[in-house]
Chains A and B, each alone.
Chain A
Amino acid sequence: MSIPASTGRRKTRFVRDEDPPDDLIVVVRAAGFDIDGTLADMVRDARYSGESYAIEGIGGDREVLFGVSVFAVERDTTVARVLEKFSASPRYLAVTVGQLRSAGYPVVRRGPFPTISIYSSSAVFRPTHRLVTSRMPNLLQGPRPLSRWPARCGQTLPTLVKSRCRRKDDDGHWKSMAYRSDR
């Protein structure tokens, strides 16, 4: 039996009462060429989030937010616009909300900005430092059943067929790239 995380001494994230649609594209990450470094950044994000924030669910239950924020590409914007802040990042990964859900990650809309959190339920993911640091990498890249995180931008993705990356070509222009599934 897993031990629910205590949500004491955590700030509550504002969660909007609307489910993002399955076909909504989200930019999961802008990344450099150091994939392991990118994964480490995401682990740190989730760990800090779990230590600092909780979300309030239906019925007022609070849940620790071991979350990673992603950027929603709403109708009035584009992936390129979302990536404007990341001009130094040669690659990115974008997927749909449906793909994240299919991979087993709860998705919530939060805040007044087009930001979405994907998170791991505390019932699955025990909130101790040791387990956070040991399991999050597996959640991102490791063996089944937590193997579906599409974070390996620039490499063959195990489950998500249409994930996209981009990189700068020799002339400094952005070039979109598609990666095939190995299944």
Chain B
Amino acid sequence: MTPAATITAPRGGANDMSTSGLTAADAGARPVMPWLPAPLREFLGVDGHRASGSEQALVSDALGALPRLSLWAAVMLMALAFAFNGSLRDEAWAHNGIWVALAALVWPFAARLLRTDVSEFERLGLLTVLGLGLFVVRILHNPLAFADHDEFLHWRNVEDILSTGQLYATNPLLPVSTRYPGLAVVTAALVQMTGLSVFAAGLVVIGMARWIFVLSTYALFRAMSRDVRLASLGAFLCMASSNFLSFHGQFSYESLAIALALFSLAMALHLQRAPMRPFLVALPLFVAAVVALVLTHHLTAYFLLAALGLLTLATLVMDRDRDAVWRLAALTAVVFVLTAVWQRSAADHTSGYLLPILGQVRDRLVEIVHTGSFGRRLFVSESGVLMPLWQRVISLAAVALIGLGLLTGTLRTWTLRDPQGGLAWPAVFMVLAASYPLCVALRLDPLTWEAGNRLGTYVFVAVAFVIAHAVAHHWQGRSASAPRSAIVACALTVLVIGGALAGAGPLMQRGPYLVGAESRSVEAQGLRAAAWTREHLGPGHVVASDRINRLLSATHGRQRVVTSLHDGVDVSPLFLASQFDEAQEQLVARVGLEYLVVDERLATSLPFVGHYIEMHEQPAGHHEPVSLAALRKFDGMPSVSRIYDGGAIAVYDVKALGRAR
């Protein structure tokens, strides 16, 4: 592309197209999907590149296809709502219908972003609509209340703030989370000042975080590449992360923190290059974001610190720009000092929480290296549920496309460099992207899955940047070929669907109760039992239960549940052992256990996530469901009263067992 052929928008024209602006070749292109009726192609804005011979066309029609694609997304969300409702009734069409509607939602956005004649304003609008649209998918999935595991952990923190007016209350579900109160504080503030429910306020906060996430990745990639098309494709590809649709749509501290981290990273790049006065003016914004991040999530703060440290080092070695190095070093120091001060003063037991987990991962990795075998069967849940064939194919295709994208994008990323002459940022992103296969490998074992999943969250930002280069320069390039555009848009859609499958998988479907299956296990009986404990026993009693009813007891029931994280004991023998023995009696006495909530449905199946109560309850894994006799052993036991029967769930009063010792 010669500079002369580039149509550059003026200030206010919303395009900086030094590398992928409009060219004369864009004019008069053919439609992307010629077999679709022309009105529908026109409606979706995929009717080929319009012959916009001047920059004025971009300015006057800057909304472009945004209104039409917003309407399209809304219609697909309505289709998803129907599909989710059908899925709740276990109707066969609905289970696949969810994914079809999701793909139909995503594809036109991919096709539109691939085009070269789309204004920056429209691109930002498209990313906002798609990012928030995928967040609405999460709302449609659980539209009444928080229902995923981590959401309960943080909901409890908000409830504690609302009931006591104080931070840092004890949260037995995740003790360390109270020391990172950012998410809970913001949510509690909205609840207290607007009268919203915690659920609605939480959705507002996480929706806002989603918006910050999408636009921050765009800003980061745009600053690195000076290419609005590549940046928007990169931000789109971030949505193909396995955590984007599910985990980062949850009411969880990482969902807010990763958005703040990406904003901080975008600010750091800006501050590295800005003249001194703008640097000083904008620096407080960076500090504000980092303060919020440090008070919100430990791991993400460490990630930002590591990323900035790496970038400082890379800039020192590769760019030798002393000014940039000093600035990056100063920003890194800001993150380090704030993180260290907070950890020393208020969150000193963070390492006590994280180090054992990292130790387990390390030990397991050593074991894997020695044995050469991973403990997880691909596409099979811990309860033995096999993913449908088409889902397996899409998942593998997504991984293959990521591999292809990394291969074809890496060289391009390197040769393009930072347009302002720097090599460091692209180099660091390439190194991070190259570590993606390690994240995938870690996901192949149940004990390292979590580490791979969390690491993959951060690494995928770099992966998206590299693949965006591949898409913008190789897969689609500057071609306006209709079949090519259609195929590349399909590939991008496969990446997003593949990511969603890896993150949510079968749990994306609603439907009847499943054992130990996160939101699929949260249903009427459990909610009623938890509400009953609150209403009739009062809050704050010491309660033990399985993984799901424990969450419900702690939040809906407001009970003080027993967990290995908080109490340092494993109560799983109380539920899994066939007989009550002295060790269990000691356990009851040690934690001062008052009530047991026993769900007899646990005996109907293996747990979907691999454990009923605590992760290491059965080191060799469960091979058959817990026996009904084990769950019923308290029935009729001397000193134990069965005080509630809601059908599958019973509540036992075991206070006398503890007193007996």
State yes or no: do A and B come from one complex: no
